[in-house]
Chains A and B, each alone.
Chain A
């Protein structure tokens, strides 16, 4: 209090004698205060973006694959028309008893605005994929070039441990192929033939599924993941698999 009363009488020391550490500390404090007064949104966006980056902090600017295929879902646009599911089944010959992609429905009874939302899901092509780790014969593996989790059906013994390892229920056993089948971002049917996007992404009439290259700064997926104004998240982050399918709203 004494110092506060004498505040007017005190002389300005200037910033010449202020150490770098002190300046940094002051800036950090300022950012924290700003974040708190902005309803926590800035801080929460920063922290969630850091959490949801597909790679650890060491890879934030340097992704392990080139292109590093990825998808971001604008879930508020999803109306559950299932055109993505149909396109996927047609493009990749998915039988009626299985699916490579699905749409989950969540009902929130007490919500003041919409009470229902749809969450499209597919293989997350995780950077630390559990399915590829547990497969005893390397029948499923990360493509070393583009990071897609692929299947070599010739090697699949049908132990189904990959189905258990996957935290996203993205795999099923295809009785016709005698092997586990899963989303490959339409690699065999489209991307390897020069297409720029997946079947589901192209078929979506509401622009929910945005497919792209997470390692390319000019790509839309890159831009939407590497920003702070809108929250971006992944499903089941606690599984620790570093997924490459992101979710956002608005």
Chain B
């Protein structure tokens, strides 16, 4: 039943009481989770406001040579995840593959909230966000990847909100049209996000055509895990199966996840081999820092084991039917990919720009450690996603699925 059919003929008071009834229908665990995620959000908001007012230089661990810290890597994490969710859900919702259809509404909502979380986190990283709102519009620089990324993600967010509204109202043709625009927008925005790093000639660790492809592929990989995780959680919140086709749908998503894990593993192996074979300036030091140096735990533990190998094994062994294994795989991948993004953003900056000159102080890698404030904002971002997800499950009544298209 569509939202419009449900609410047709209801007065505002009746609608309000319906909403209150839905929100009151949660279990104790649900309200506890809502409280925890709400507190996480609050902590992030307080830290972000304090740092913005008091000065980032006081509260953040970033520096002149490492201007982008964990807040940027968290933004990258959320933005790419949003793109991944949008792309995976489009397989059914936009392109009509039946197995993927049951996830449509929740996926669009998840894509909206993960992207919003990214925007909230990056708002705490931009030093003068008020100027951004004005000058991004009246003084755009069309050669800037950051400008395109912001504009395209902003467009995608707006269009996805309309898509979600149309889905709730049962206007499927409009929803599909919006969904198509959102997919194109997210893809373009995602590749521009990669371009922010990949087009910097002076930063050899990032420079090249590798990142845009890596971002899209890893986005789809993590998007799959995100969809599996939140749909399995949604089943618990709603205390029952969501849709008869959901197990098959999650199994199909699992197959895409397995494929993408292989693609990312392939990329990672060849990137490492190419760097070891050629010792390219700037890249070699960074890759070695990840293989054997300061970032080795983060690389081997987070990027390889948690993101790729363990989820690959668990997804394979689950055979698409063991939901506990799939849930574990999804959680581990979402944790591991956080390290993957962090490594990508930070290792690219810890290599001093004058390292090739051999000047004093440039032979060592630079140091960066996130501060408590930065970590609180990251926690706030995750809290926002959790809080909105929990709220969404009740407000939208578990996203009832209709067969459309």
Binding site for B on A (CB under 8 A): 97-98, 104-108, 119, 121, 130, 133-139, 154-161, 163-169, 171-173, 175, 178-179, 235-236, 238-241
Contacts and interface: CB of A to CB of B under 8 A. Distances in A.
A169 B353 contact: yes
B145 A134 contact: yes
Nearest to B57: A175
B162 interface: no
Contacts of A137: 131-132, 135-136, 139-141, 147
B202 A236 contact: yes
A109 to B, nearest CB: 11
B67 A157 contact: no
Nearest to A152: B139
A169 to B, nearest CB: 5
A175 B196 CA distance: 24
Contacts of A161: 144, 146, 196
Nearest to B282: A238
B143 interface: yes
A171 B202 CA distance: 14
A133 B147 CA distance: 11
Contacts of B132: 136-137, 157, 159
A183 B129 CA distance: 24
Nearest to B127: A158
A156 B128 contact: yes
Interface residues of B, number: 40
A169 B354 contact: yes
A26 B197 CA distance: 49
A100 to B, nearest CB: 12
Contacts of B199: 134
A104 B144 contact: no
Interface string B346-360: 000100111011111
A107 B353 CA distance: 17
A122 B359 CA distance: 15
Given A158-B128, A178-B128, A138 B139 contact: yes
Contacts of A178: 127-128
B201 interface: yes
B201 A167 contact: yes
Contacts of B196: 134, 161
6 contacts: A104-B357, A169-B354, A235-B354, A236-B354, A238-B201, A240-B201
Contact of B202 (A105, A159, A166, A173): A166
Nearest to A137: B135
Which 4 residue pairs of A and B lie closest in terms of their CB atoms, listed nearest first? A158-B127, A167-B202, A136-B147, A137-B135
Nearest to A165: B200
Nearest to B195: A134
B126 interface: yes
A171 B135 CA distance: 21
B140 A158 contact: no
Contacts of A241: 201-202
A162 B201 CA distance: 13
Nearest to A155: B135
Which of the listed residues B129, B135, B136, B352 has the most CB atoms from chain A within 10 Å of its own CB? B135
A172 B129 CA distance: 18
A165 B349 CA distance: 11
Contacts of A179: 128
Contacts of B140: 136-138
Interface string B52-91: 0001010000001101100000000000000000000000
A153 to B, nearest CB: 10
A236 B358 CA distance: 12
A138 to B, nearest CB: 5
Contacts of A175: 55, 57
Interface in B124-181: 126-129, 131-132, 135-136, 139-141, 143-147, 150
B401 to A, nearest CB: 40
B353 A155 contact: no
Contacts of B356: 236
A229 B88 CA distance: 63
Contact of B68 (A155, A164, A239): A164
B203 interface: yes
A142 B403 CA distance: 57
Contacts of A121: 354
A164 B349 contact: yes
